[in-house]
Structure 1
Amino acid sequence: MVTKEEVLEEYGLDQLEESRNVELNDEKLENGSKGALIKLAGQLRDRRNELNQMASERASKRDDLNAKTREQVDEAQEHREKRDELNEQVQEHKESRNELNAEANELFDEVEQRKQDLELSSGKSIDELKEEIEDLEFKQQTEVLSTEDERELIEKIEEKREQLAEKKGKVEQSGDLEELIEEAEEVRSEASTHHQKVTELADEAQEHHNQMIEAYREADEIRDEADEMHELFVEAQEAADRHHEDFVSVQKRLREMDKEEEQERKAEREEKMEEEREEAEEIYQKFKEGETLDTEDLMKLQKTGLL
């Protein structure tokens, strides 16, 4: 079983170093200064982007592995279909072979029956009798024999000739026996041809079966790597998502801080305007009472709209 470490090493990918992750807790989020939070947001963003890139690389490798798995499965399926096709042909040739062998057996049985009926299967064959006669005649012509030995030899030759004539006569009486034998041998030969095809096709089918098994084995190995790569992708993506969520939380806190600061500035402006209005009213009251105003007092009255 392949491990994550082996997959990372094989495909040249970096380990996800936990020590490089950026941590965010409630204390930092609620009580951290704006400057510290801005810095933290930058760190979270950079680590998030780095982890997203890592996740993307792992997802790409995973998809490549899944594609290779599908290729191996498709190849295995092709071998399966070819094997099944060849096995069908094997079965067809087996059926033809068996039918022909059965037919040949019937024909040879008929040949043997005819031979028995004609007694052709008993005694020596025509070729054997011819050979024996030739040997005896050669001995008669080449050897010096006594009168008695030569007489016995001549008798043997005559006896063999009578046996040969009898055998030939029976063969002539057999009619189409030779044709029947030839037909039986032809049918047996055709059956042998089908048997040879059975052997050849069965060997080819077995080869495709072996290649199918090998393709499925490779598919399983690649699928294991793809599964490990998917786990590595999930690991990086979950870390990236957490950093993104923390980044969003910090950004939200910074916006809240900006809003709080704006509200404080607004309150300060309103307070200042109230103070200026009160001062302007005092100046205006003095003006109505006939006091002389200097330039600065006049400008304050103009600013507040009292003049």
Structure 2
Amino acid sequence: MVDESKNIELTEDDLENKSKGELIKMAGQLRDRRNELNQMASERASKRDDLNAKTREKVDEAQEHREQRDELNEQVQEHKEKRNELNAEANELFDRVEELKSDMELDEGKDLEELEEEIEQLEFKQQTEVLSSEEEQELIEKIESKREEYEERKQKLDQNEDLEELVEEAEEVRSEASKHHQKVTELADKAQEHHNQMIEAYREADEIRDEADEMHEKFVEAQEAADQHHEDFVRVQKRLRELDKKEEEERKSERDKKQEAAKEEAEEIYQKFKEGETLDTEDLMKLQKTGLL
């Protein structure tokens, strides 16, 4: 803020009633305070301009983050679309796998791993438990039945190469879709980082802009005070010129009066000279000065 206690106030009464010496002193004070305030305004304008430049830098930085975020979001959208297309394709392939299994009746009953585990459990029971002949025979028949079921299902699977190829293709497509999904996640995280950085840059820009606005207000305050002091300085200078002119007019009037008085005196002396009176040296010099001799 401007220290108003250092400002120089000029009133109409000052202009009208202060002496020339007092006005000259006041003019110097106004000039010095004006220069001081102009320097202050210049420094504040420089600080304001620096802050405005930093604001523009932050806005540019925010804009760069915005552009990078938008570019990444476009890539996210592209990978999403590709992922969805591949997932749809994989779903169709897996549906065809299920249809083939259904046609082969592979979707009914237990799969090979379950059958193999059951056979191992039955064989372990045969080897470790004490069974009657009837129980053992029953267990053997059960094991054989499971083995036949296992072989039958295994042969069906082995004989159908199309199913294996279809499963492999479906899994490859699903794997490719997963890669695009991973890319979506990575790019979305990066886009969010740039979004956060953009928000932070805009926040900093707003803070610096507020500082710049505050500094501009201080600049205006100092400049207006400087302008007022300059205006008052000019008013004092004008008044001093008026006083100088007045003094010059007074001096001229005084000179004119003296010249008129000297002329009248010379004319009286000249009249005496014409009348035959003797003139002294001083009288002769007065006549010479007025051009009468």
TM-score range, shorter chain: over 0.9
Distance 2:116 2:9 in 1: 111
Q: Map Cα deviations across residues 256-305 of structure 1 (whole Å, 9 max, x no partner).
A: 10011111111211222222222222223333333322222222222222
Partner-residue secondary structure (3-state), 2:292: coil
Q: What's 1:217 paired with?
A: 203
For 1:193 and 1:179, how far apart are their aligned partners in 2?
Answer: 21
CA–CA distance in 1 between the matches of 2:86 and 2:179?
10
Quote how far apart the aligned CAs of 1:143 are: 5.5
Please name the residue that 2:2 is paired with.
16
CA deviation string 1:208-252 (max 9, x = no partner)? 111111111111111112111111111111111111101100000
1:154 counterpart SS class: helix
Structure 1 partner of 2:254: 268
Q: How does 1:1-307 map to 2 (within 5 A)?
A: 15-140=1-126, 145-307=131-293
Letter of the 1:20 counterpart: K
Letter of the 1:76 counterpart: A
Please, what TM-score do these two structures have when normalized by structure 1?
Answer: 0.89
Task: Show the counterpart of 1:11.
Answer: none
Unaligned runs of 5+ in 2: none
Counterpart residue identity of residue 272, structure 1: K
Post-superposition CA distance 1:145-177 (Å, at most 9, x none): 443233223212221221122112321443311
Query: Which residue in 2 is equivalent to 1:6?
Result: none
CA distance in 2, matches of 1:186, 1:306: 135
Q: Normalization by structure 2: what TM-score?
A: 0.93
Give aligned-pair identity as a percent: 81
CA RMSD in angstroms comes to 1.8
SS at match of 1:291: coil
- Could you tell me whether the CA contact under 8 Å between 1:104 and 1:185 is conserved in 2? yes
Which AA in structure 1 matches 2:30? Answer: L
Q: Is the 8 A contact 1:111 1:177 kept in 2?
A: yes
Q: Distance in 2 between matches of 1:254 and 1:191?
A: 92
Residue segments in structure 1 that go unaligned for 5+ positions in a row = 1-14
Contact 1:118-1:174 at 8 Å conserved across structures: no
Provide the aligned length of Structure 1 versus Structure 2: 293
Which residue is 1:5 aligned to? Answer: none
